[in-house]
């Protein structure tokens, strides 16, 4: 990332004031910008801890100020009571931006202004043409996911707590896809994809390669297919006819490949036609009389504004047509090679699976759950590779954040039974291994109850797990579990506990750190 001119300073009010001196913003807009920076400074520690963000607070704020300096000439606050708010409501956004004119139109809130600043910052997310069936939709999702990811610092954090309720009115699909890629690979991968101005890198291929390295070939393939199906399903309201047309074409192409002998025969026939076409063009190019006849014949059927100007122009046209035939023959030769034949057939089968959303009677929720299931499978299938205490702690934080991601307006990942089961299996493995590796203190000799006690402590919004203490108290057949965030009681819960006090590994009514210190 390009270092900011102001990176060495720490007084961001002063830095921003200097930038704002060059801007013709209203006093209200300037005050909201200063308040926005203040809120970010207060919230960033918890934000980065809970999300596992590696970008420093300085880099995060430097980038915002650079964006204001370089990409924002005008910042207009929209009065919610006036007619001008109509556009924001129609598009259901906090801010609208015009990158060419460098204008931001935003509600008069710090969150809306932050949304506008992240939105107006150049974002590329190039996707090669061969992914035409999801190209535009995935680019839009990644852009919106970027905005949601960075605005979370004040949307869900206020310097004192992690407020999950604030995620109710967002684009859940964009957020899910962005966060899954960020957590399963890393934030630097998405940042590079966002900022790379070259269209030569196939980042979908790179993403699948990274997933193979971490989670295996099958997980990588399943994750990509589930993601692409969700991307397509999200856009079907406006793209259904086009997707159906493409689906039919791919089915036809795949059916033609089923019988290998017939497939090779068809390619052979096409090559013969192309070879004959090349020979015909060679005859024309080497015989002036025939060339003149072709010139007259072609012009006879063309309107005046499209007629071929002279014989030299026709020669150029014929040479281009000849070259296209040669190129196509080379492509056909590649297609009949055994390895290429198998690869193309597999690619078509994969594409059919993705495009088949157009003929399925499923909801966005169905595709979202299927996507989250594949993401959680990646987590689960990678657990046996964990070898260090640091890796255990890292995954514990990632799963704590991931389980709270919303799948729908009213459901988080952990609220959906099939996904909750994956969360439970992952946490059981991590807690059991964490106790063996002396990451967690052991609270009960019984593995199941020890898991349940620690899991209750993990299921909190406490930013730093090092601040968590656990106190236990037996009341007959129930066990009272009290979770502390430093000196404050964060949570108190009772669970059924039919085994004896001898099975506890700690003394009752005594605060014990969750982590081994």
Question: Kind of pairing, strands 103-106 and 95-98?
Answer: antiparallel
Paired with 515 in beta bridges are: 440
377 half-sphere exposure, CB direction, 13 A CA radius: 19
Q: Phi and psi of 98, rounded to 5°?
A: -125, 100
Among residues 447, 474, 445, 469, the alpha carbon closest in space to that of 457 is found at 469
Name the residue ranges covered by the structural domains of the chain: 12-215, 260-348, 386-437, 440-517
What would the pLDDT profile of 485-504 be if each residue is shown by its tens digit?
A: 999 999 999 999 998 999 99
pLDDT for 8 equals: 44
User: What class does CATH assign to 440-517?
Assistant: mainly beta
Among residues 176, 178, 47, the alpha carbon closest in space to that of 114 is found at 47
pTM: 0.85
- With bands split at pLDDT 50, 70 and 90, how would you rate the model's confidence at 309? confident
327 Cβ contact list (under 8 Å, min separation 6): none
Looking up tokens 């730093």 gives 464
Neighbours of 251 (CB within 10 A): 16
pLDDT for 336 equals: 73
Q: Residue ranges of the alpha helices (H) in 166-259?
A: 172-184, 187-195, 203-215, 217-258
Q: What is the mean pLDDT of residues 444-456?
A: 95
Q: What is the mean pLDDT of residues 241-252?
A: 94
What would the pLDDT profile of 464-485 be if each residue is shown by its tens digit?
A: 999 999 999 999 999 999 999 9
The answer to whether 463 and 50 are in contact (CB under 8 A) is: yes
């Amino acid at each position: 990332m390009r270092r900011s001119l102001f990176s060495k300073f720490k007084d961001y009010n002063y830095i921003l004031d200097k930038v704002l001196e060059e801007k013709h913003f209203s006093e209200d807009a300037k005050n909201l910008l200063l308040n926005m920076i203040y809120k970010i400074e207060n919230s960033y520690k918890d934000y980065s801890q809970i999300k596992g963000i590696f970008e420093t607070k300085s880099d995060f704020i430097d980038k915002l100020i650079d964006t204001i300096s370089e990409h924002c000439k005008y910042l207009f606050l929209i009065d919610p009571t006036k007619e001008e708010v109509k556009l924001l409501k129609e598009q259901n956004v906090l801010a609208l931006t015009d990158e060419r004119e460098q204008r931001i139109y935003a509600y008069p809130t710090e969150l809306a202004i932050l949304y506008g600043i992240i939105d107006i910052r150049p974002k590329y997310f190039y996707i090669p043409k061969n992914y035409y069936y999801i190209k535009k939709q995935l680019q839009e999702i990644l852009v919106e996911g970027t905005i949601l990811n960075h605005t979370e610092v004040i949307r869900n954090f206020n310097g004192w707590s992690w407020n999950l309720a604030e995620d109710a009115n967002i684009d859940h699909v964009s957020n899910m896809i962005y966060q899954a890629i960020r957590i399963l690979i890393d934030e630097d991968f998405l940042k590079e994809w966002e900022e790379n101005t070259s269209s030569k890198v196939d980042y979908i291929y790179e993403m699948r390669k990274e997933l193979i390295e971490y989670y295996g070939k099958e997980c990588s393939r399943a994750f990509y297919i589930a993601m692409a199906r969700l991307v397509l399903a999200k856009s079907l309201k406006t793209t259904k006819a086009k997707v159906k047309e493409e689906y039919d074409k791919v089915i036809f192409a795949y059916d033609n490949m089923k019988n290998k002998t017939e497939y090779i025969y068809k390619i052979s026939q096409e090559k013969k036609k192309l070879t004959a076409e090349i020979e015909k063009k060679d005859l024309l190019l080497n015989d002036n009389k025939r060339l003149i006849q072709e010139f007259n014949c072609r012009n006879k059927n063309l309107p005046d504004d499209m007629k071929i100007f002279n014989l030299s122009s026709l020669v150029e046209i014929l040479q281009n047509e000849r070259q296209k035939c040669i190129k196509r023959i080379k492509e056909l030769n590649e297609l009949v090679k055994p390895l290429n034949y198998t690869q193309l057939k597999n690619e078509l089968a994969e594409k059919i699976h993705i495009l088949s959303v157009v003929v399925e009677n499923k909801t966005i929720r169905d595709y979202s759950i299927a996507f989250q299931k594949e993401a959680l499978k990646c987590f689960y299938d990678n657990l046996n590779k964990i070898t260090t205490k640091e890796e255990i702690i890292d995954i514990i934080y990632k799963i704590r954040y991931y389980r709270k991601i919303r799948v729908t307006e009213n459901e988080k990942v952990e609220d959906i039974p099939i996904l909750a089961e994956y969360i439970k299996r992952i946490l059981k493995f991590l807690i059991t291994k964490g106790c063996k590796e002396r990451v967690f203190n052991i609270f009960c000799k019984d593995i199941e109850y020890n898991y349940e006690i620690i899991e209750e402590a993990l299921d909190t919004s406490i930013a730093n797990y090092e601040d968590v203490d656990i106190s236990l108290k037996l009341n007959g057949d129930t066990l009272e579990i009290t979770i502390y965030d430093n000196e404050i009681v964060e949570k108190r819960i009772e669970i059924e506990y039919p085994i004896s006090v001898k099975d506890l590994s700690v003394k009752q009514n005594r605060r014990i750190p969750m982590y081994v210190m």
